[in-house]
Structure 1
Amino acid sequence: MAISLSSGAHPQLQPIVAKMSFFDTLLFHIIHLVDKLNLWHRLPVFMGLSYLAVRRHLHQRYNLLQVGGVNGHEHKREDEVPYRTADGTHNDPRDALVGSSGTFFGRNMYPVTSSCGILDPHPSVVASKLLARKEFKDNGMQFNMIAGSWLQFMIHDWVDHLTDTQPVELQAPAHVADLCPLKSFMFFRNKKVQTDSPAMPFGFLNTRTAWWDGSVIYGNNRDDMHRVRAYHDGKLKISEEGLLLHDNKGLPISGDVRNFWAGLTLLQSLFIKEHNLICDFLKAHYPDFEDEKLFQCARLVTSAVIAKIHTIDWTIELLKTDTLSVGMRANWYGLLGKKFKDRFGHIFGASLSGLVGQKKPRDHGVPYSLTEEFVSVYRMHSLLPDKILLRDLSSTTSEDKCPPILEEIPMEEMIGVEGERRLSRIGVEQMLVSLGHQSSGAVTLWNYPLWMRKLDTADVNGEDKPDIIDMAALEIYRERERGVPRYNEFRRKLLMIPISKWEDLSTDAEALEALREVYGDDVEKLDLLIGLHAEKKIKGFAISETAFFIFLLMATRLEADRFFTTNFNSQTYTEEGLEWVNKTEALKDVIDRHFPDLTKQWMRSSSAFSVWSSMPGP
């Protein structure tokens, strides 16, 4: 981003820097100089990692905020709770409720009330003028539709807001009504809950467990978990075809199926198969293990496999640079690498030996949670296409690089109960190959799916009552109602240089014209979501630098989980379970275990998350 060079800290950052310690102020000035020169991502790998390490330290000090107090809910001894609980309780040693379902989202910055108001500019105007897809823009060969589906798979593991019970209406202004597929729609606000903290008097509740615990397939409470378990040899329910079973309403039986579509349930079924295979593996080594012991051990192993894939496979494809490839692997293995850690174990600190396997969890003085800002930067519905390109596997040969397109299926037919019916006819293998060969959308302006601007939530939740919403407009509204700062203030709070004019954000003439039409000359009005989509991207990044810095901070929260630190050992996981995690490096390894012929014939990419017909990387 082109920002003019000036001496000292940017004037708008000086009040923030003034509150820092002397040492942190010195560190800030180092990264601030690098930012002025737009330099860090062009530095040699080690220097780039050093910059990111300094940034992460500052964010851990100044961008982790607690919402509500730690009440000291009694935590049982670790030997009394040796496994993950259904609702995420009893992970943090100081408070049993930390990170569990129904607790507060944290914050990376204090909530704000914008002076321009929650409807200025109107969310429907922003959605119609800056988000609505004109034509589908793909992501090239970098990110495929398995990667796009994986994003939702992870969201269903981590975050969902408790909503209020009283619907409200959002009505489009007359001058853009013709551009909106819905002139008005009813929706539920996120429920605002009073806290016991004077510094942050209200917050919002997360209905999912915030830990990386596989709740996307295991559920977020005991009832969910009971529903998915087979109660035989530790296994989960799955159909003979390798897809999810369904209840009498046609709803899939899995841990969390809100807003479901075929790409999400495909990954849920794949990891249910993985869980069940781990159960068989453990049963062969420990024939005296009963159902409960097998289930709990397999859940630990499967959850760790999911977390590892996201860390050193999915994220590396999302941020495809040498620096981030080394950095993300260092999060898991440390800078000394996998071979050293395999041989000597976790004998140094987090930097050299990784976040995983530390002797004690670390929360940097703030109880673990996922944050409102983390939710905001994970909003990437532009990844979703208009159609799924179904591939024909029956008329191909081993010499074919890519199977031909058999059918183009509108996305509306792949969501909800209808999508499940489609998926059952397609089957796991054909769907995997199809999504693997299809590029996801680009996270950029004018690429938000039009079908999501008239989305019937009854279709994706299996409800009887129609509830049609404009997701694009609703996303803008909800960021504002939760007090997430708008783009420029968001950057200030992240110690980034704010923009002073639209040209600082983008050099695209069409984008500049549209931004001025919607926001005038006031860059402070710019919504976070729009800024993240408009911002010029670092080469190799599928997302903006601003979003990435939240990722940088929150990825290290892995070390707050005792099942990745204190209890990441053979006593908890078993030796064989720990080895299963250690040998799994990528999603390709999981697919290989269940469909070896499929990957051998069709996957020519370096990762299961990049387009399968692309050639392997160097």
Structure 2
Amino acid sequence: LLSSISEARQLVDTAYLHARKSLKRNLEEKVANPMNFLKHLKDPVGRTRSAVRAADYLETTLKLLKIKLHLSGKWRSNVTDLLDRKQKEVISKETGCDYQIRSIKCPNHDIYRTITGECNNRKHSHLGSSNRAFARWLPAAYEDGVSVPRGASEGKLYNGFPLPLVRKVSNEIAHTANENITQDQELSLVFMHWGQWVNHDIDLTPSSGAGFSPELHCETDCAFKSPCFPIKFPPDDPRMLRSNSCMPFIQSASVCNPRTFTREQINAVSSFIDASTVYGSEDSVAKSIRNQTDHLGLMAVNQNFTDAGLELLPFENNTKSICVLTNESMNIPCFKAGDKRVTENLGLSALHTVFLREHNRLVSELRKLNPHWDGEKLYQESRKIVVAIIQMITYRDYLPLLLAEETSKWIPSYSGYNENVDPTISNVFSLAFRFGHVSVRPFVSRLDDSFQPLGSFSNVPLHLTFCAPWRIIMEGGIDPLIRGMVVDHAKLMKQNQLLVEELQNHLFEQTEVMGLDLAALNMQRGRDHGLPGYNAWRRFCGLSQPQNIDEFSEVLGNSKLAKKFMELYGTPDNIDLWIGAVAEPLIPQGRVGPLLACIIGTQFRNLRDGDRFWWEKPGVFTPQQLHALRKISLSTVICDNTHIKNIPRDVFKVNSYPENFVDCHEIDTLDLSPWKDKPESVTKGMQLSNVCQR
């Protein structure tokens, strides 16, 4: 046992080292393929890296034991069935996996949330914290019952049918040309961007740390060799380069599961809506993005550039940054924020920038009100307000547009904190919330002060804006982007127009290397995560489970599409969750079908009811503070933190300039006077009367 563990550690460490060296070499040679960009955005850092590495040690140990014990294919049970409790404990301890079971000591009294999300729930201190496994709402469906993704072995049948290649499904069902998209007549592009902003706050599935080791040939070999699970091209694919080429795909990093040893994926960020995009989800990151020089509670800002006098996000401090490769002559590295994916697209970077400025604005205002507060108190109080703003905008403004008439069914009015609700993000939600990919437009538009196209910078194909912070620094800052988001319509999800060509063929195609296919990635990711098929989730949600083409035509309201699905999958039971869910007709007035409404609604209810620091929970804010917070909107935040002078009252709705716009002075601002400390004597009196009331 011990020699296997030691061998496993060596193998994993070597693979990690190779992967890091290989990426470094690529950057030095200035070659980066789309996978390198994806890796940069989803690379495990800090404590996540140790957690993922421990899981790799564990998994590799079990593989080695299997070989050493000569468990052939005929052996039906798993290695773990041969281990007793003591042996399992040894493996858990020696691989470092026992951190999952160690208890966390929480302080008796706390007024602020932790950065990691630990101790939010006092009974189960790890619930919702970063670097834990996603929750499983249904048992995992793996080919071998433990870790092999469905579809990994050729010719294997599920419910009597083989699983189709995800790329084939993408080509036949998801693909739509860039030109013929239908615009959403009611919702702006802000709606799409806010979905991604919230999503990045609550889940991040990093890639396996070993997946980029050149020894693995993930890019050249099409066979499944964990963590490589390449996406094969169907023979008639227009983009197949050679007869045996495939699109690289690296499995998600797993997390230690010392109890059952089934493969579980790790959520690297805290589940709560706690602005971890701004502040980070682990203490070392949170510390590194604060202003270390003046200790006034401010976030660090860019030292090289400003946006017409306003702050920009700081740069990563590494000399070789992948973002430089998107325009070498500009030599601009990636931004640094609480979330690694900050530079993925320009709209996302703009929201990151706005909330960084909002934090620093709040710190300065609160310091004027309470000169006696120290930097830590200023930081925590400002953070608490930023979190409340994001929670409020999400539940009051965003979710009702998404879920429409079904909002109150899934998310009834708030009735207080419930320590028995598990707020952990579920594995299925991490896939389901990617529904937003079908509302992405193929071009990024940037507008000047009068909301006219900003010269030659105006319409940029989406794939040329991935990981390109130079476009913010050199092409007019974030204001033109925000104006574009406010005026542009989101793309409407239509069954014959799911994913634009930019995302279906050119994802991260900054260099001439073949881009990735986001639809295929999503479906392959669902299989990688062991998610059961479409009907299992319909059953979970109390919806009908279509068995044949007629029943499925009824669910989809589209017999042609149902026929296409049946030809590919043979049975609705096998349909990959993501494609089945986004293909459903939208609920009345909403922007998702019934299955997504159930999964998303359930998750957001748990996130709210299981959060001890939820902004509306009595005692978190005073009644006066709540009254002040309720007046503000995303328009307020934009007006307070940009040079934009005119804005619609509701930026989520489609607005045309100038008729639906008002001057920023007409937008309610946040009155901070309720945050002013009362003089000592008054506070003492209030505390006494509170005691009497209790």
Report the equivalent of 1:170.
230
Report the equivalent of 1:105.
134
Report the equivalent of 1:246.
315
Report the equivalent of 1:269.
353
Report the equivalent of 2:531.
484
Question: In 2, Cα distance between the equivalents of 1:275 and 1:569?
Answer: 22
> Would you identify which runs of 4 or more consecutive aligned residues in structure 1 move more than 6 Å?
464-467, 614-617
Q: Shift of the alpha carbon at 1:533? A: 2.0
* Pairs aligned (count): 499
Please state whether the residue corresponding to 2:185 is helix, strand or coil: coil
Select which of 278, 283, 289 maps to 1:222.
283
Q: Shift of the alpha carbon at 1:526? A: 1.8
Report the equivalent of 2:193.
149
Is the counterpart of residue 296 in structure 1 residue 329 in structure 2? no
Is the counterpart of residue 131 in structure 1 residue 185 in structure 2? no
Please state whether the residue corresponding to 2:544 is helix, strand or coil: coil
AA in 2 matched with 1:99: G
Residues 493-514 of structure 1, C-alpha deviations (whole Å, 9 max, x = no match): 2221112333123233542443
Which residues of 2 match residues 372-451 of structure 1 at below 5 A?
372-379=427-434, 380-393=436-449, 396=450, 403=452, 406=455, 407-416=458-467, 418-422=468-472, 424-445=474-495, 446-451=497-502
Q: Shift of the alpha carbon at 1:125? A: 0.7
Question: In 1, Cα distance between the equivalents of 2:566 and 2:104?
Answer: 54
Question: In 2, Cα distance between the equivalents of 1:181 and 1:556?
Answer: 46
Q: Check the 8 A contact 2:233/2:240 in 1, yes or no.
A: no
Report the equivalent of 1:305.
389
After TM superposition, the structure 1 stretch with the greater mean CA deviation from structure 2, 223-232 or 145-154, is: 223-232
Q: For the structure 1 residues 318 and 484, does the alpha-carbon distance in structure 2 shift closer, same or farther, using more than 3 Å as the test?
A: same
Q: For the structure 1 residues 516 and 482, does the alpha-carbon distance in structure 2 shift closer, same or farther, using more than 3 Å as the test?
A: same
Is the counterpart of residue 256 in structure 1 residue 339 in structure 2? yes
Question: In 1, Cα distance between the equivalents of 2:602 and 2:240?
Answer: 37
Is the counterpart of residue 511 in structure 1 residue 561 in structure 2? yes
Q: Which one has a bigger Cα radius of gyration?
A: 2
Q: Check the 8 A contact 1:104/1:205 in 2, yes or no.
A: yes
Q: Shift of the alpha carbon at 1:187? A: 2.4
Q: For the structure 1 residues 144 and 114, does the alpha-carbon distance in structure 2 shift closer, same or farther, using more than 3 Å as the test?
A: farther
Question: In 1, Cα distance between the equivalents of 2:377 and 2:150?
Answer: 54
AA in 2 matched with 1:493: F
AA in 2 matched with 1:547: L
Unaligned runs of 5+ in 1: 1-67, 335-353, 397-401
Q: For the structure 1 residues 204 and 597, does the alpha-carbon distance in structure 2 shift closer, same or farther, using more than 3 Å as the test?
A: closer
Report the equivalent of 1:285.
369
Q: Shift of the alpha carbon at 1:550? A: 1.3
Q: For the structure 1 residues 318 and 481, does the alpha-carbon distance in structure 2 shift closer, same or farther, using more than 3 Å as the test?
A: same
Residues 456-486 of structure 1, C-alpha deviations (whole Å, 9 max, x = no match): 6596xxxx99895333212111101212121
Q: Check the 8 A contact 2:507/2:518 in 1, yes or no.
A: no
Report the equivalent of 2:681.
none
Q: Shift of the alpha carbon at 1:441? A: 1.9
Question: In 2, Cα distance between the equivalents of 1:169 and 1:114?
Answer: 13
Report the equivalent of 1:582.
630
After TM superposition, the structure 1 stretch with the greater mean CA deviation from structure 2, 279-288 or 107-116, is: 107-116
Is the counterpart of residue 592 in structure 1 residue 643 in structure 2? no
Q: Shift of the alpha carbon at 1:543? A: 0.9
Q: For the structure 1 residues 188 and 568, does the alpha-carbon distance in structure 2 shift closer, same or farther, using more than 3 Å as the test?
A: farther
Question: In 1, Cα distance between the equivalents of 2:513 and 2:203?
Answer: 24
Q: Shift of the alpha carbon at 1:363? A: 3.0
Select which of 257, 265, 279 maps to 1:195.
257
Residues 534-576 of structure 1, C-alpha deviations (whole Å, 9 max, x = no match): 2122221111111011122112221211111797636xx5787
Report the equivalent of 2:202.
158
Report the equivalent of 1:524.
573
Question: In 2, Cα distance between the equivalents of 1:390 and 1:566?
Answer: 37
Is the counterpart of residue 118 in structure 1 residue 118 in structure 2? no
Unaligned runs of 5+ in 2: 1-97, 153-162, 212-217, 219-227, 322-332, 662-694
When the two structures are superposed, what TM-score results if normalisation uses the length of structure 2?
A: 0.65
AA in 1 matched with 2:594: E
Instruction: Provide the alpha-carbon RMSD of the alignment.
Output: 3.3
Select which of 266, 284, 306 maps to 1:205.
266
Q: Shift of the alpha carbon at 1:389? A: 2.4
Report the equivalent of 1:363.
420
Q: For the structure 1 residues 69 and 288, does the alpha-carbon distance in structure 2 shift closer, same or farther, using more than 3 Å as the test?
A: closer
Question: In 2, Cα distance between the equivalents of 1:84 and 1:387?
Answer: 39
AA in 1 matched with 2:313: L
Report the equivalent of 1:537.
586
Please state whether the residue corresponding to 2:499 is helix, strand or coil: coil
Select which of 539, 545, 555 maps to 1:498.
545
Select which of 563, 571, 595 maps to 1:546.
595
Q: For the structure 1 residues 566 and 267, does the alpha-carbon distance in structure 2 shift closer, same or farther, using more than 3 Å as the test?
A: closer
AA in 1 matched with 2:300: K
Identity %: 19
Report the equivalent of 1:24.
none
Q: For the structure 1 residues 453 and 210, does the alpha-carbon distance in structure 2 shift closer, same or farther, using more than 3 Å as the test?
A: same
Query: Which one scores higher on RCO, CA 8 angstroms, separation ≥ 6?
Result: 1
Question: In 2, Cα distance between the equivalents of 1:423 and 1:452?
Answer: 25
Q: Check the 8 A contact 1:413/1:422 in 2, yes or no.
A: no
Please state whether the residue corresponding to 2:523 is helix, strand or coil: helix
Q: For the structure 1 residues 74 and 525, does the alpha-carbon distance in structure 2 shift closer, same or farther, using more than 3 Å as the test?
A: closer
Q: Shift of the alpha carbon at 1:113? A: 3.9
When the two structures are superposed, what TM-score results if normalisation uses the length of structure 1?
A: 0.73
Report the equivalent of 2:613.
563
